[in-house]
C-alpha cells in the first residue's frame, strides 16, 4: 500500500509566487522518505499541504489512502507531525501538553495519561515533565514536539527539518529515534536540507528545487545516476571559463558544471582524469588551486539536476527559514 501519493500537487500564493509546482510523489508504507532541497524550495509548503494545514491550489493526493481534499479528518487521525518550529504551549507542563494532545486525538483519559508517561520516558523528559514548557531548552522542546507527534501512535510521521538548529549530539539522538520508529513499521516523511541526513536515514530521496522534483530514487540509485566520478577543480579568479573550454577535450568527460571559482567534472575515471586536468591547465598557465576526486554524493546529484550546489545554497540561506511563508 502507498502511504502517500500525490499527483501534480501545486500551491501558488499569487501569479508570481508558485511554492510547489505540480509534484508527483509516491511513498510506500513503512518507508523512510526524505524530501531534500534548499530552504525555499517548497518542502515546508508540501508538508503543510499533505498534513491538511494548507489547501493545494490544484492537484490530488492521498495520505494513508485518504483523499486530501475529501477526508482531512481521517488523515489527521492517521498522521503525526513535527513542524520546523516546535509548536508548543509555553504555559503547559510537558505532561499536560502530551496528555491534551492524546485526548484531542480521541484517546480516553486513562490511555492519554499512560501514553503521555510512555512518551516522556521515550524522549527522556520524565524529570522535566511537571515544569512549564517555557523553561525547556531548545533541544528539550524539540524532543517534546517529537513526543507530541507520536503520542497517538500515528501510522505516518511527518518531520519538517527535524534536526535544524540542534547540536550534533541531539541530532544523533533524533536520528536514532526516527530510525527505531521506522524499523517498527512507521512510515516517515522527512524534509531536510542536510545531505548527510537524507543519505544516512532515507530509503528513498526526492530532490526538490524551486517547487519541482528534479530527481528521485534511493540514495544509491541517485548517486549511480551521476554515472561517473566527480573531479572538483579550483582555479584562479576569472579562469573558470578558459579552464572549462580547455578541459572540454578531456578524455571520458560527461558533463561540466561551474560554480563560483570551481569546476565540477563528471568523468568516467576520476584518477586518470586528474593527471590530464593538471597537465592541460598547467600547460595553458591557468592558475590552479585544489584538485580533488570523489565518488558522487547527493550534492553532485543535486548539482547535476539543478546546476547549483545544495551545500552552498543551504549555507547562504540558513538564516532564512521562510520556506512556506512566501
Partner 1 sequence: MATTEMTAALPLPAWNFWGETLRATVLLGKREIRTVLRTPAYLIPNLMVPIFFYFVMVGSLEEFATRSGIENWQAFQVPVGILFAVQSGSAGLNMVADIESGYFDKLLLTPANRLAILIGAMGADFFRIMLQGAIVLAVAVPAGLHFETGLPGMVAMILILSVWGLAFSAIGFAVALKTGNSQATQSIWTLFIPLMFLTTAFAPLEALSGWLKVAATLNPMTYVLKGMRSLSMQGWDTGALSEAILAVVVFGALTMTMAFLSMRGRVK
Is 1 a residue that touches partner 1 (CB under 8 A)? yes
Helices (H) and strands (E) in the chain, counts: 12, 14
The 3-class SS string of 68-96 reads CCCCHHHHHHHEEEECCCCCCCCCCEHHH
Phi–psi pair at 202, nearest 5 degrees: -85, 140
Is 52 a residue that touches partner 1 (CB under 8 A)? yes
Is 60 a residue that touches partner 1 (CB under 8 A)? yes
Cα–Cα distance, 71 to 64 (Å, whole number): 11
- Pick from 39, 45, 62, 306 the residue near partner 1 by CB under 8 A: 62
Least distance to partner 1, CB of residue 113, Å = 13
Is 131 a residue that touches partner 1 (CB under 8 A)? no
Interacting stretch for partner 1, rule CB under 8 A, among 51-59, 209-217, 245-253, 303-311? 51-59
Residue with cell 488523515: 75
Phi–psi pair at 81, nearest 5 degrees: -135, 130
Is 138 a residue that touches partner 1 (CB under 8 A)? no
Is 90 a residue that touches partner 1 (CB under 8 A)? yes
Is 132 a residue that touches partner 1 (CB under 8 A)? yes
Cα–Cα distance, 259 to 51 (Å, whole number): 36
Interacting stretch for partner 1, rule CB under 8 A, among 69-77, 226-234, 237-245, 301-309? 69-77
Nearer of residues 89 and 287 to partner 1, judged by Cβ: 89
Mention every residue, 6+ apart, whose C-beta is less than 8 A from residue 56.
9, 10, 11, 20, 49, 68, 69
**227 neighbors 265 (Cβ within 8 angstroms):** no
Is 71 a residue that touches partner 1 (CB under 8 A)? yes
Nearer of residues 75 and 263 to partner 1, judged by Cβ: 75
Mention every residue, 6+ apart, whose C-beta is less than 8 A from residue 243.
233, 235, 263, 281, 286
Nearer of residues 82 and 310 to partner 1, judged by Cβ: 82
160: cell is 519538517
- Pick from 21, 30, 57, 92 the residue near partner 1 by CB under 8 A: 92
Least distance to partner 1, CB of residue 212, Å = 15
278: cell is 593538471
Provide the binding-site residues for partner 1, judged by CB under 8 A.
Answer: 1-2, 5, 7, 24, 51-53, 55, 60, 62, 64-67, 71, 73-74, 76-79, 81, 83, 85-92, 96, 100-101, 103-106, 132, 148
Amino acid at each position: 500500500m502507498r502511504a502517500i501519493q500525490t499527483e501534480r500537487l501545486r500551491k501558488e500564493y499569487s501569479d508570481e509566487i508558485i511554492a510547489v509546482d505540480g509534484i508527483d510523489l509516491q511513498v510506500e508504507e513503512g518507508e523512510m522518505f526524505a524530501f531534500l532541497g534548499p530552504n525555499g524550495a517548497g518542502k515546508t509548503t508540501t508538508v503543510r499541504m499533505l498534513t491538511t494545514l494548507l489547501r493545494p491550489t490544484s492537484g490530488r493526493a492521498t495520505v494513508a489512502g485518504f483523499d486530501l481534499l475529501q477526508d482531512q479528518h481521517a488523515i489527521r487521525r492517521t498522521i503525526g507531525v513535527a513542524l520546523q518550529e516546535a509548536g508548543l504551549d509555553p504555559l503547559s507542563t510537558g505532561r499536560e501538553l502530551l496528555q491534551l494532545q492524546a485526548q484531542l486525538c480521541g484517546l480516553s483519559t486513562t490511555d492519554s495519561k499512560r501514553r503521555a508517561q510512555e512518551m516522556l520516558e521515550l524522549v527522556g523528559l520524565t524529570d522535566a515533565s511537571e515544569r512549564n514548557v517555557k523553561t525547556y531548552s531548545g533541544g528539550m522542546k524539540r524532543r517534546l514536539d517529537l513526543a507530541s507527534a507520536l503520542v497517538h501512535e500515528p501510522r505516518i510521521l511527518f518531520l519538517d527539518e527535524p534536526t535544524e538548529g540542534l547540536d550534533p549530539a541531539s541530532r544523533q539522538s533524533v536520528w536514532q529515534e526516527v530510525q527505531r520508529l521506522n524499523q517498527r513499521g512507521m512510515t516517515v516523511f522527512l524534509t531536510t536540507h542536510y545531505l548527510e541526513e537524507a543519505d544516512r536515514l532515507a530509503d528513498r530521496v526526492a530532490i526538490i528545487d524551486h517547487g519541482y522534483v528534479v530527481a528521485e530514487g534511493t540514495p544509491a540509485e541517485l548517486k549511480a545516476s551521476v554515472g561517473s566520478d566527480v573531479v572538483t577543480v579550483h582555479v584562479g579568479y576569472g579562469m573558470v571559463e578558459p579552464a572549462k573550454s580547455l578541459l572540454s577535450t578531456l578524455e571520458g568527460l560527461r558533463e561540466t558544471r561551474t560554480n563560483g571559482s570551481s569546476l565540477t567534472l563528471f568523468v568516467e575515471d576520476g584518477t586518470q582524469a586528474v593527471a590530464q586536468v593538471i597537465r592541460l591547465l598547467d600547460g595553458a598557465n591557468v592558475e590552479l588551486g585544489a584538485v580533488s576526486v570523489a565518488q558522487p554524493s547527493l550534492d553532485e546529484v543535486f548539482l547535476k539536476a539543478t546546476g547549483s550546489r545544495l551545500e552552498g545554497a543551504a549555507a547562504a540561506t540558513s538564516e532564512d527559514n521562510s520556506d512556506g511563508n512566501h
